[in-house]
């Protein structure tokens, strides 16, 4: 897929949340790259950046062909902390630049009252500086819905190119998708498989069966056809390969509408209302 700043971003990406640090993570990342993923999504708070970096190195992949994302965690919001957090992520990953760096969660009014927007803007200014210094190619947001995205859009010197949000059948995020589309922001789907819970959904299973694919493949294909970039996570080689094999079939408009109609369900936190 293409970002609004001209960079390519490989789809799907490979998720690493809850992938245990150490051999399991190293092996998962190596297996993902062997399977054809070139886009790896990690975060400081996952505690596995060293292992992600080791997996990248062991894969022997050319750095210029990889797309690596990390995120600044909530305890490091603000200008100076964000710069330090980025340095730490680079060092832990063993890289000299990142392809994409995200504010992991917005500071919100629940926790920070009237200061929330100013804190988010301070964090954003640090990310803009990283782009200016050419140690970061693309700046982005995560868990920003319109309430917190609009102040960033109004004040940014460098516009965000990505917003990474919870997205899957049952959570269509219509307003956020519309705002992103209007501003050329690519939406990435976290928990695209509903953390695995959607795999038993009978509506999804029936559509998957009609195409001779797995429920995971049907859901990931649904994401692609909505122009959203999915980030499936697995530590199992067979699933890692399965989750990237999603380009050989197309869901009909009717099947897309059926998946769109799955009742609302959320597996993670709502960023507008949590207090962390
Ligand atoms: N920005 C954010 O705030 C945020 C929040 C959450 C996640 N994320 C990112 O998004 C990525 C994906 O989200 P997620 O990890 O929460 O959930 P997910 O990718 O929707 O689901 C992962 C779960 O599904 C299982 N699974 C994977 N492939 C499967 C398959 N083909 N068939 C059946 N089960 C399968 C995995 O188990 P096994 O591993 O045992 O195979 C794991 O339990 C994360 O890893 C992370 O990189 C970002």
| Alpha-carbon gap, residue 38 to 7, rounded angstroms | 14
Give me the residues paired with residue 70 across strands.
Answer: 101
Atom of ligand 1 nearest to the CA of 234: 39
Residue 29, domain CATH: 3.20.20.100
Residues with CB under 6 A from ligand 1: 15-17, 41, 104, 142-143, 164, 190-196, 199, 214, 216, 231-236, 239, 242-243, 268
Write the DSSP symbol of residue 64: G
Per-residue pLDDT of the chain (276 residues; tens, 9 = 90+): 999 999 999 999 999 999 999 999 999 999 999 999 999 999 999 999 999 999 999 999 999 999 999 999 999 999 999 999 999 999 999 999 999 999 999 999 999 999 999 999 999 999 999 999 999 999 999 999 999 999 999 999 999 999 999 999 999 999 999 999 999 999 999 999 999 999 999 999 999 999 999 999 999 999 999 999 999 999 999 999 999 999 999 999 999 999 999 999 999 999 998 888
What residues act catalytically?
46
Q: Are 48 and 77 in contact (CB under 8 A)?
A: no
Q: Is residue 255 part of a domain?
A: no
Q: Are 55 and 33 in contact (CB under 8 A)?
A: yes
**Count of domains for the chain:** 1
Sign of torsion over alpha carbons 265, 267, 268, 269 = positive
Q: Is residue 268 part of a domain?
A: no
What Rg, from alpha-carbon coordinates, does the chain have? 18
- Count of other CB atoms within 10 angstroms of residue 100: 25
Range of the domain at 105: 14-194
Atom of ligand 1 nearest to the CA of 28: 39
């Amino acid at each position: 897929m293409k970002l609004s700043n001209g960079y390519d971003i490989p789809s799907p990406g490979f998720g690493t949340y809850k992938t245990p640090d150490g051999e399991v993570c190293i092996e998962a990342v190596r297996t993902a790259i062997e399977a054809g993923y070139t886009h790896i999504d990690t975060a400081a708070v996952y505690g596995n950046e060293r292992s992600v970096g080791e997996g990248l190195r062991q894969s022997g992949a050319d750095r210029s062909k990889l797309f690596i994302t990390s995120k600044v965690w909530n305890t490091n919001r603000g200008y100076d902390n964000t710069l330090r957090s980025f340095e730490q992520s680079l060092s832990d990953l063993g890289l000299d630049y990142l392809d994409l760096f995200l504010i992991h969660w917005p500071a919100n009014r629940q926790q920070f009252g009237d200061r929330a927007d100013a804190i988010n803007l301070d964090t954003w200014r640090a990310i803009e500086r990283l782009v200016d210094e050419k140690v970061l190619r693309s700046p982005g947001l995560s868990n920003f819905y319109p309430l917190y995205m609009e102040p960033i859009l109004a004040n940014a010197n460098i516009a965000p190119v990505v917003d990474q949000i919870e997205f899957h059948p049952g959570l269509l995020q219509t307003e956020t998708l519309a705002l992103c589309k209007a501003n050329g922001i690519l939406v990435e789907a976290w928990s695209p498989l509903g953390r695995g819970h959607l795999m038993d959904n009978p509506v999804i299973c029936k559509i998957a069966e009609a195409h001779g694919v797995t429920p995971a493949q049907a859901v990931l294909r649904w994401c692609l056809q909505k122009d959203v970039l999915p980030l499936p996570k697995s530590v199992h080689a067979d699933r890692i390969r399965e989750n990237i094999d999603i380009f050989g079939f197309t869901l009909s408009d009717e099947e897309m509408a059926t998946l769109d109609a799955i009742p609302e369900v959320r597996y993670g936190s709502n960023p507008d209302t949590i207090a962390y």
